[in-house]
Amino acid sequence: MMKTKTRGLLLPFAGLLIIVFHLAPLYITLSIALKKMTDLSSRWTIPNYLYWQNFVDAINSSHMLRAFTNSFVITVGTSFLIIMIGAMAAYPLARVRTKTNKWILNLVLTVMMIPTLSIIVPLYKVMNDMHAINTFWGVILVLTTHGLPLAIFTYANFIRTIPRDLDEAATVDGCNGYSVFFRILLPQLKPVTATVLILAGLKVWNDFEFALYFLQKPQKQTITLTIANFFSEFSSNINAAAAAALLAVLPVTIMFIFLQKYFISGLSDGAVK
């Protein structure tokens, strides 16, 4: 009896320690962001006043709103393309087992393993030849390409769990392969599309490598680039820098709080099936 009682308290207590530990970096950032530059108290203590001016400074001095808009446009455009092209590609790969398709699945896997930085120099040259540097469409196409493998696998895994009888019934009714996909299968892909959207959207929102190389023009910069520039230019104003970091994290955190179920099932579905 004694044993179960202490155990009943032990686990929540261990849990609390884990929560404190993993949120500590964000807590420190928050405490810096809320302090005046002249306040040299420890970063572990939240001040007894709240200095919102840091957030205002961060927004004003770095065109943060423009960067937010840019990141948003790129994220929406890329996610849309990844979902369309990914779902379409996954369908024949999941349904038709041929040697070619097996070969193509391996090809997709290889693409997933190619590190961004190992092709970035030649890719820059290719993009330059296409006049795609400093354009949204250019960076959207590149990000789409690199987000596709995961989307294709996630969709293909899901389509395999949908009974084939359904396709066959539709074929009997006179649908051809394409209309089976667009009329019968596509509506069923809604739950997995939420997963793909979150995984792909998050990766694009947080992208730094591609933006660093392909969006150097200030007007086109994304939120991650803006943060990077902010830290190198205003490194003396660490309080505003902390505020800028928090602002960049805010949209994702809010989405996580409301759509937690999708974030978590997204990763585990993609992984375990």
Applying CB under 8 A, the site for other proteins has a residue count of 93
Stretch 193-212 residues interacting with other proteins (CB under 8 A): 202, 205-206, 208-209, 212
Q: Does 106 bind other proteins (CB under 8 A)?
A: no
Q: Which of 75, 79, 146, 197 binds other proteins (CB under 8 A)?
A: 146
Q: Does 86 bind other proteins (CB under 8 A)?
A: yes
Gyration radius of the chain over CA positions: 23
Q: Does 256 bind other proteins (CB under 8 A)?
A: yes
Helices (H), the chain: 2-33, 53-61, 64-95, 99-113, 116-129, 136-161, 164-172, 177-179, 190-205, 209-214, 223-233, 238-258, 260-272
Stretch 148-167 residues interacting with other proteins (CB under 8 A): 148, 152, 164, 167
Helix (H) / strand (E) element for 184: namely: none
Q: Does 51 bind other proteins (CB under 8 A)?
A: no
Q: How far is the CB of 52 from other proteins (least distance, A)?
A: 19
Q: Which residues, other chains included, contact 266 with Cβ-Cβ below 8 Å and sequence gap of 6+?
A: 194, 195, 196, 198, 199
CB 136 within 8 A of CB 81: no
Q: Which of 67, 197, 200, 248 binds other proteins (CB under 8 A)?
A: 248
Q: Which of 116, 134, 188, 229 binds other proteins (CB under 8 A)?
A: 116
Q: How far is the CB of 36 from other proteins (least distance, A)?
A: 14
Q: Compute the distance between CA of residue 272 and CA of residue 254 in angstroms, rounded to an integer.
A: 27
Q: How far is the CB of 66 from other proteins (least distance, A)?
A: 18
Q: How far is the CB of 1 from other proteins (least distance, A)?
A: 18
Residue type, 255: M
DSSP 40: -
Q: How far is the CB of 205 from other proteins (least distance, A)?
A: 8
